């Protein structure tokens, strides 16, 4: 099988990016194995804070390269934001001159404790790999976070290089001048490497689905604008029905072929590979190696033949029953969370429309930089407000507010310095958090449904919420006059105020990632309200051999969710067509 995206001689740096759930990690792992098996040394790097490389490759991840068992030339590394932040703080504090008093050092530590530092520290690790720290490897393969987060990451070398040019003071949110300036040369090298077609290839991974193809098209255009033009296209999960009389199988195939026939023009110009849908989850070396070949993976242990009842009948509670439970509260925040590609936007939209059906006013919004709410809802409904947290608009609002509040007592020189600080790329993260906090507070008197970004990006937002909470408690040790202190984190921890819905597919990796997210939330004092298992073949009636083999794996994962993971689980069957538009979502929620 000849692969256009690898060719005879892959570039030194390979980036795999795309919408959540399209198979970036599977393709990146398979490509890494392919290159290592050919005799080259490979470092596979995850930039996703919610990486699942460990489960797929059977190796414990670290922020240092770890050898993959039974693959002599392959190592993996996970850019861990927490570990990266600690290392970054250490480097900045080490730059302080000897004799610096403890009060100054403590001030610097506080400056380096926020969400801005987490982002720049993870980015610092990333640029280091591009600027020479991976010199011991022939190839470096990046398995990136879902698109919105990745576009932000890949835009930062240019943003920071431009910001630091002629800026002798640095950004206050990142600590002292030395903490930033010592990175300037590394940022420049990273930008040059990304834009070098001989060194770097961007592999856009998608599925034969309209939403995924649209996002790949938008990503391609934005990356070209950044100077990253060496792009390839991989269409993963292409399905061909085995029997013409199987309505479910035929609808899945037709949906995919229709999406491919309408592929955006920009994508058509790219060199392209198509990879067939596989009958099992891509977990383990054998399955991953088979992904880029014509061979089928061995049947996994624990696989079972679905019973006729499982194929034709579904006895699990459905989405409408969940919406009935949520409506009883009369108001509150509903956060829909999960791995990319599991259908969070559809579930959030259906819940919001279902609440409107039941007589409530609802604000439906999203924290996802690659938002698809408007396309999913595709219409207007009395009682429903649909918008999104737009990073650029929120940054402009935040800067204007900061200039108005902070510039009142400053002269022109002081205002210029403040404006310079606010041009920092970190300002966007702060602005998005403030917008998130504002929307959370709206749920005091109405329903707010939040379609969150994929897991890793949401965890960073949760970290920012926790950091803000600790800062407020530290700065206000006594209760403020006129009432008690209530931070956004406290609202999220209040089960009467916030209901968290975890969405998953009945597949190994999404279920594992939802379980890990649940544990992260619990450590923050947030208890998930329910799980939704989306796009299930259970009850579909399919007789297609490949889909039946996938169904057997689904039954194992559904049992796993019921047996100890979810307090309440609701199942949504795979539909013949994606539920897009008010009418389709109303049927889903009715």
CB 63 within 8 A of CB 77: yes
C-beta atoms surrounding 105 within 10 Å: 12
- Residue 564 designated active-site: no
Closest by CA to 126, choosing from 74, 78, 58, is: 78
Which residue is catalytic, options 11, 17, 26, 512? 26
H or E segment at 572?
strand 569-573
- Residue 316 designated active-site: no
How far apart CA 32 and CA 141 sit, in angstroms, is 7
Which residue is catalytic, options 17, 147, 465, 509? 509
DSSP characters over 103-136: HHHHHHHHHTSSHHHHHHHHHHHHHHIIIIITTT
Backbone angles phi, psi at 200, to 5 degrees: -125, 135
Residue located via tokens 């490759």: 57
3-state secondary structure of 505: strand
Counting every residue, how long is the chain?
590
Return the structure tokens found at 353.
């429309």
- Residue 368 designated active-site: no
Closest by CA to 194, choosing from 230, 150, 236, 234, is: 230
- Residue 48 designated active-site: yes
CB 334 within 8 A of CB 450: yes
How far apart CA 220 and CA 406 sit, in angstroms, is 39
Which residue is catalytic, options 11, 17, 25, 346? 25
- Report the chain's C-alpha Rg in angstroms: 24
Which residue is catalytic, options 23, 170, 179, 354? 23
How far apart CA 548 and CA 537 sit, in angstroms, is 8
- Residue 452 designated active-site: no
Which residue is catalytic, options 20, 32, 48, 544? 48
Which residue is catalytic, options 19, 24, 339, 344? 24
Q: Name the pairing type of β-strands 74-78 and 66-67.
A: antiparallel
- Residue 198 designated active-site: no
- Residue 118 designated active-site: no
Active site residues: 21, 23-26, 48, 509
């Amino acid at each position: 099988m000849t692969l256009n995206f690898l060719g005879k001689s892959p570039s030194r740096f390979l980036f795999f990016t795309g919408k959540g759930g399209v198979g970036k990690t599977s393709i990146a792992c398979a490509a890494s194995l392919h290159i290592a098996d050919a005799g080259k040394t490979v470092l596979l790097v995850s930039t996703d804070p919610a990486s699942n490389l460990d489960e797929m490759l059977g190796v414990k991840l670290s922020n240092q390269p770890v050898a993959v068992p039974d693959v002599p030339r392959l190592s993996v590394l996970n850019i861990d934001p927490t570990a990266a932040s600690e290392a970054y703080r250490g480097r900045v504090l080490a730059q302080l001159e000897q004799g610096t008093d403890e009060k100054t050092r403590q001030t610097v530590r506080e400056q380096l404790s926020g969400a801005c530092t987490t982002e720049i520290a993870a980015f610092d690790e990333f640029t280091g790999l591009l600027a020479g720290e991976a010199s011991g490897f022939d190839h470096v393969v990046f398995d990136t976070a879902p698109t919105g987060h990745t576009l932000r990451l890949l835009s930062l070398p240019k943003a920071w290089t431009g910001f630091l040019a002629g800026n002798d003071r640095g950004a206050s949110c990142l600590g002292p001048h030395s903490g930033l300036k010592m990175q300037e040369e590394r940022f420049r090298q990273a930008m040059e490497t990304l834009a070098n077609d001989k060194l770097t290839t961007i592999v856009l991974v998608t599925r034969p689905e309209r939403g995924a193809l649209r996002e790949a098209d938008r990503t391609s255009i934005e990356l070209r604008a950044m100077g990253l033009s060496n792009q390839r296209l991989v269409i993963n999960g292409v399905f061909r029905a085995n029997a013409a009389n199987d309505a479910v199988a035929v609808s899945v195939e037709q949906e995919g072929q229709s999406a491919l026939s309408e592929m955006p023009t920009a994508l058509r110009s790219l060199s392209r590979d198509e990879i067939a849908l596989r009958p099992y989850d891509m977990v383990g070396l054998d399955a991953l190696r088979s992904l880029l070949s014509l061979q089928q993976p061995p049947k996994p242990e624990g696989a079972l033949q679905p019973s006729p009842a499982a194929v034709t009948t579904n006895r699990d509670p459905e989405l409408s029953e969940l919406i009935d439970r949520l409506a009883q509260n009369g108001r509150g925040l509903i956060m829909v969370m999960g791995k990319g590609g599991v259908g969070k936007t559809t579930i959030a939209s259906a819940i919001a429309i279902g609440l409107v059906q039941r007589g409530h006013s609802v604000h439906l919004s999203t924290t996802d930089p690659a938002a698809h709410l408007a396309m999913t809802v595709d219409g207007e409904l009395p009682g429903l407000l649909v918008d999104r947290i737009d990073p650029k608009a929120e940054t402009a609002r935040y800067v204007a507010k900061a200039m108005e509040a902070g510039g009142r007592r400053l002269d022109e020189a002081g205002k210029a310095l403040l404006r310079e600080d606010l041009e920092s790329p970190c300002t966007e993260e702060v602005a998005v958090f403030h917008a998130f906090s504002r929307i959370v507070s709206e749920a005091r008197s109405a329903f707010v449904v939040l379609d969150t970004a994929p897991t890793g990006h949401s965890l960073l937002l949760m970290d920012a919420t926790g950091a803000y909470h600790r800062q407020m408690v530290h700065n206000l040790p006594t209760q403020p006059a006129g009432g008690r202190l209530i931070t956004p984190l406290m609202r999220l921890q209040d089960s009467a105020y916030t209901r968290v819905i975890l969405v998953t597919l009945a597949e190994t990796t999404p279920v594992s990632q939802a379980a890990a997210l649940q544990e992260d939330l619990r450590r923050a004092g947030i208890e998930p309200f329910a799980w939704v298992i989306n796009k299930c073949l259970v009850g579909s009636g399919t007789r297609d051999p490949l889909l039946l083999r996938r169904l057997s794996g689904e039954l194992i994962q559904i049992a796993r969710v019921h047996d100890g993971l979810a307090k309440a689980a609701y199942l949504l069957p795979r539909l013949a067509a994606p539920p897009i538009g008010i009418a389709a979502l109303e049927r889903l929620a009715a």
